[in-house]
Amino acid sequence: EWLQRWLNYLNAKPVLNEIDAEHYNDELFSALKCGDAEIEEFNSNAQNAAQRLISRFRRCTNIRGEDLLNRNQKLQHLFTADVFEFDANLPKLSDDEKTEYKALLKPSKSKSEEDTFITWINTTLSPTITVVSLLKDVSSGYVLLKLLDRSKPECVNWRQARKKIRHKFDKVNNCNMVMKLAEDEFRFSLVGMAGSDIVDMKEKLVHSLLSQMMRYYQTRQLSLVLFKNATTTKQDKKRRAAVTDEDILQWVNLKISECDEAQSKSLESFKDRVLSTCIFYIELLKAVRPNEVDLSRVNYDVKPLINAKVMDKQKALRMQNALYCMTMIRRFGGELFVSPHLLCIMEQKAVLAVLAAIMTISITDVKK
Half-sphere exposure of 359 (CA within 13 A, CB side): 27
Checking if the pLDDT of 356 tops 70, the result is yes
Q: Does residue 224 contact residue 152 with C-beta atoms inside 8 Å?
A: no
Instruction: Determine the distance from the C-alpha atom of residue 346 to the mean position of all C-alpha atoms in its chain, rounded to a whole number.
Output: 15
| DSSP character string of 31-55 | HTT---SS-SSGGGSHHHHHHHHHH
262: nearest Cα among 249, 273, 253: 253
Tens of pLDDT, residue by residue over 121-155, are 998 887 788 899 999 999 999 999 999 999 998 99
Q: Does residue 339 contact residue 112 with C-beta atoms inside 8 Å?
A: yes
Mean predicted confidence (pLDDT) in 348-368 = 87
Going by pLDDT thresholds of 50, 70 and 90, the confidence category of residue 313 is confident
| Per-residue pLDDT at 303 | 92
17: nearest Cα among 26, 8, 25: 8
DSSP 16: T
Reduced to 3 states, what is the DSSP secondary structure of residue 85?
helix
Going by pLDDT thresholds of 50, 70 and 90, the confidence category of residue 180 is very high
Checking if the pLDDT of 234 tops 60, the result is no
pTM metric for this prediction: 0.64
Contacts of 46 (CB under 8 A, 6+ apart): 25, 69
275: nearest Cα among 248, 293, 294, 296: 248
Q: Does residue 62 contact residue 72 with C-beta atoms inside 8 Å?
A: no
| Per-residue pLDDT at 237 | 44
Going by pLDDT thresholds of 50, 70 and 90, the confidence category of residue 37 is low
| Per-residue pLDDT at 231 | 47
Distance, in Å, from the CA atom of 347 to the CA atom of 24, rounded to the nearest integer, reads 35
